[in-house]
Structure 1
Amino acid sequence: MASSSIYKCGSYRAFLSFRGEDTRKGFADHLYRALELAGIHTFRDDDEIKRGANIAAGLQKAIQEARVSLIVFSKDYASSRWCLDELAKIMERRKTDHGHMVLPIFYHVDPSHVRNQTGSFASICQA
């Protein structure tokens, strides 16, 4: 299946990166709905990619299309290789496209744990 066929509709204005087990049925859903109600077409992987589609290509395309990436750092975000790969792709894009805005959101996480890679974020160094 071609990556162009995995999207429901056109380009995205925002890319939402989150650890599903931590926030999908709560914070991430509320944030997604609020962005969509505000007219900001937002990508989130749990319902935008059809089952069996080339997920990596779809995520890369969505990250490249988005004007802003919102990263919801939650307790177990760093334990997910998938989340860390998304984060790496987002930051790679940010290096080459200074117009791409990256907004961190700290959900029940001390920002210093992310910055200093301590607590549940110490696993980043070991990954």
Structure 2
Amino acid sequence: MDGFSSCSSSMAAKTAAAASSSDWKYAVFLSFRGEDTRNNFTSHLYKALDQKGIETFMDDKKLRTGEEISPILVGAIQRSRCSIIVLSENYASSKWCLEELVEILECKRTKNQRVVPIFYNVDPSHVRNQTGSFGEALSKHEENLKIKGEKLRKWREALTQVANLSGLHSLNK
């Protein structure tokens, strides 16, 4: 729990400071594949953060019906001090998740945003090397959506980079 504890405790201490800063609106941004974890792990994580008073962005909690998703998500990522990425089996099958991941890692690089990956029932090496469900998902994006070149390269690099970060592992298979 080192990565999560570090993120949550430092965020709890900095929530007031972050709120007064014009740059930070959220202490934590949660990135996750809804169909995999929204109604179990991620909702419990959100509730735990909320109970600690940590201002957390979770898309179904902060978005209003009818709003465009992309600009709101990008803005929430950019205005969050920390991102927790719940990498589940179908995470890479969502182009939204992959785009979020690229943006999160850009904010890590440019804004020193803290990033904590949670490998939820996936092997980090599958994420790092794009094998298993991660490799299959990228192949489908390439075949079905005709995604090639720079975008696919960025997604692959982002998956490798996030898998190389210290995070939490949960292999309950």
Structure 2: gaps (5+ residues): 1-23, 142-173
Q: Which has the higher contact order (CA 8 A, sep 6+)?
A: 1
**Corresponding residue for 2:62?**
48
Any residues of structure 2 matched to 1:1-127 within 5 Å, and which? 11-98=25-112, 100-123=113-136, 125-126=138-139, 127=141
State the superposition RMSD in angstroms. Answer: 1.4
**Corresponding residue for 1:6?**
none
Q: Greater helix percent: which structure? A: 2
Contact 2:92 2:138 in 1 (8 A): no
**Equivalent-residue separation in structure 1 for 2:59 and 2:43 (angstroms):** 12
Q: 1:95-118: per-residue Cα shift (whole Å, max 9, x none)?
A: 2122x1010001111111111111
Q: 1:19-44: per-residue Cα shift (whole Å, max 9, x none)?
A: 00000110000000001111111001
Contact 2:77 2:83 in 1 (8 A): yes
Contact 2:83 2:114 in 1 (8 A): yes
Task: State TM-score, norm by structure 2.
Answer: 0.64
* One-letter amino acid of the structure 1 residue matched with residue 29 of structure 2: F
Greater C-alpha Rg: 2
Runs of 4+ off more than 4 Å: none
Q: Match of 2:36, SS?
A: helix
**Corresponding residue for 1:3?**
none
Task: State TM-score, norm by structure 1.
Answer: 0.86
Q: 1:71-103: per-residue Cα shift (whole Å, max 9, x none)?
A: 0000100001111111111111112122x1010
Percent identity of equivalent pairs:
55
**Equivalent-residue separation in structure 2 for 1:25 and 1:76 (angstroms):** 15
Structure 1 residue 11 displacement after superposition: 1.6
Q: Match of 1:26, SS?
A: helix
Q: For the structure 1 residues 21 and 125, does the alpha-carbon distance in structure 2 shift closer, same or farther, using more than 3 Å as the test?
A: closer
